[in-house]
Amino acid sequence: MSKQDNSFKVGMSVIGSIFFIFGFATTFIITLSAKVKDIFALSEFEAQMLNFAFFITYALISIPIGLYIKKIGYKRALIIGLLLMAAGGLLFYPSSSIPSFPLFLLSTFILAAGVVFLQTAANPYVTALGPEDTASSRLNLTQALNSIATMVAPWLISVLIFSGASEMLDAAAKAETVQMPFVIMSVIIVIIALLIMTIKLPEIAKTESTEKKSVWKYPHVLLGALAIFFYVGAEVGNGSLIISYLESTNGMDAEMASTYAAIYWGGAMVGRFFGSFMFSGISLSKKITYAVPVLLLALISGSFVTGWNWNIGGIFLGIAVVNFLIMQIGTGKAARTLAVFALVAAILDLVTTFGTGQIALWTVVSIGLFNSIMFPNIFTLAVKDLDSGELSTASGIINTLIFGGAIIPPVMGSVADNFGYTWAFIVPAICYLYIFFYAVKGSQIRK
């Protein structure tokens, strides 16, 4: 094995673990909004302030962090991000002991600051680690690892926090059920930060440009950042309202509803594993071969999170097969696949609004599969044709617009409070239609 190959594997392994960590933390917070609503007797709009506190961090510090990373390097940025995450996680212990919703929000904000550090550093790092034409494949692979964590988080909330016994507790006792998951997560994060301090990560060489450029002059970067705004807002909005939606319209208890939330996030995992080889240069026969274990993963994971209900796992498998077949329409092209998936996601949200029963349940859950390749494909299209010296600044701008997760969920919460949960899903449908525009037209606009 060459030194270069070994360096690449070390870099991808570390970044893969980073994606897993911030994926777990992000989804844990998103899913926790339903529990916070119960603990503090909040309206849906008020409960979504937890998502606001998390995602507004991107708007406030992504660009400064992008500039700061250029000075300190990717490795230090990853360590700082991990330590901030650990500090925020530990603060949930006193926040839960009081309990205090404002302190919950402060803890969330600090934890999110660490996630912003990680994400602003990790995405351009993965992009720059190899050839530009396979950047989408690498990002889909790391995002798939992220999505394993996003499926695990709702399931753990179901087991540890939404358990039937906890529903009988008073507000203070309910709040204390979130303490140990955050403490354990923080300890693990500190250990990983210490390990990263001891290893050498491959450096990304900077390309010197003969002409001073500003990424603000690139329409495809700015329109891509707006696409990220709508994508994150739609993904978080759908995911954070699923539990309350299923409780309201299907009569499920929170524990069961949270397992369907896990399937929603698990769809992103399955779809991103598909994307990790669909956007590579391998033959169609190999792609089909690689799809088999991913489909098996869909069957097992869907069954596992629902208490080994193989019927539900089988339905999830069937939807995953449909997702893989629809992905073929994209013919391995990032923009084309993004357009198809955005259109399908919009339709699924509209069917959730106007449908009922099992049909509406599975349409909202299935959206996760079509969310899967959106972030990596939007990011890849948005930074296309930039040199490595511009990547961190562009990443800062793009990551700033992740604060769509702070805006769209409260809008959906307000619609749910005033008109009912089903009507709230029109909001993300509109978001997906903009992403469709970006894939078809916006990503190709050059000055």
E-strand stretches of 63-126: none
pLDDT bucket at 346, cuts 50 / 70 / 90: very high
E-strand stretches of 148-229: none
Do 33 and 156 form a contact (C-beta atoms < 8 A)?
no
pLDDT bucket at 136, cuts 50 / 70 / 90: low
Q: What are 415's two structure tokens?
A: 């619609």
Whether 196 is covered by a domain: the verdict is: yes
Whether 229 is covered by a domain: the verdict is: yes
Q: Report the alpha-carbon distance of residue 17 to residue 112 in Å, rounded.
A: 17
Q: What are 418's two structure tokens?
A: 């005033």
Closest alpha carbon to 230 in 437, 98, 408: 408
3-state DSSP assignment of residue 309:
coil
pLDDT of 279 reads: 75
Q: Report the alpha-carbon distance of residue 122 to residue 376 in Å, rounded.
A: 12
Whether 38 is covered by a domain: the verdict is: yes
- Percent of the chain past pLDDT 90, that is, above it, reads 42
pLDDT bucket at 165, cuts 50 / 70 / 90: very low
Per-residue model confidence as pLDDT tens digits over 50-87: 999 999 998 998 878 877 887 888 788 889 999 999 99
Question: Which phi and psi angles does 98 have, rounded to 5°?
Answer: -65, -50
Q: Tell me whether residue 200 is exposed, middle or buried, using C-beta atoms within 10 angstroms of its C-beta: 0 to 12, 13 to 18, 19 or more.
A: exposed
Greatest distance between any 2 Cα atoms in the chain = 67
Do 221 and 215 form a contact (C-beta atoms < 8 A)?
yes
Do 65 and 117 form a contact (C-beta atoms < 8 A)?
yes
Tokens 């290893």 -> residue: 199
Whether 113 is covered by a domain: the verdict is: yes
3-state DSSP assignment of residue 100:
coil
State the chain's mean pLDDT as an integer: 84
Per-residue model confidence as pLDDT tens digits over 410-423: 999 999 999 999 99
3-state DSSP assignment of residue 207:
coil
Instruction: Provide the 10 A C-beta neighbour count for residue 444.
Output: 14
pLDDT of 133 reads: 66
List the CATH number of the domain containing 126: 1.20.1250.20
Q: Report the alpha-carbon distance of residue 238 to residue 424 in Å, rounded.
A: 9
Residues in contact with 350: Cβ distance below 8 Å, sequence separation at least 6, in sequence order: 425, 426, 429
Q: Is the peptide bond prior to 409 cis by the omega test (within 30 degrees of 0)? A: no
- One-letter amino acid identity for 351? V
Closest alpha carbon to 392 in 209, 58, 124, 201: 124
pLDDT of 202 reads: 64
| Core vs surface per residue 287-325: b (16+ CB within 10 A) or e | beebbeebbebbbebbbbbbeeeeebbebbbebbeebbe
Whether 210 is covered by a domain: the verdict is: no
Whether 75 is covered by a domain: the verdict is: yes
Q: Which domain holds residue 136?
A: 3-202+215-444
Per-residue model confidence as pLDDT tens digits over 84-99: 999 999 998 898 888 8
Q: Report the alpha-carbon distance of residue 383 to residue 28 in Å, rounded.
A: 29
Specify the DSSP class assigned to residue 402: G
Q: What are 426's two structure tokens?
A: 């029109």
Average pLDDT over residues 10-33: 80
- Pick 378 or 400 by higher pLDDT: 378
Instruction: Provide the 10 A C-beta neighbour count for residue 131.
Output: 9
What pTM was estimated for this model as a whole?
0.81
C-alpha dist (Å) from residue 355 to 264, 274, 327, 442: 18, 28, 25, 32
pLDDT of 314 reads: 97
Q: Report the alpha-carbon distance of residue 220 to residue 343 in Å, rounded.
A: 20
Q: Report the alpha-carbon distance of residue 79 to residue 426 in Å, rounded.
A: 40
Average pLDDT over residues 14-27: 81
Total count of domains within the chain: 1
pLDDT bucket at 137, cuts 50 / 70 / 90: low
Whether 209 is covered by a domain: the verdict is: no
pLDDT of 371 reads: 95
Whether 177 is covered by a domain: the verdict is: yes
- One-letter amino acid identity for 21? I
Specify the DSSP class assigned to residue 160: I
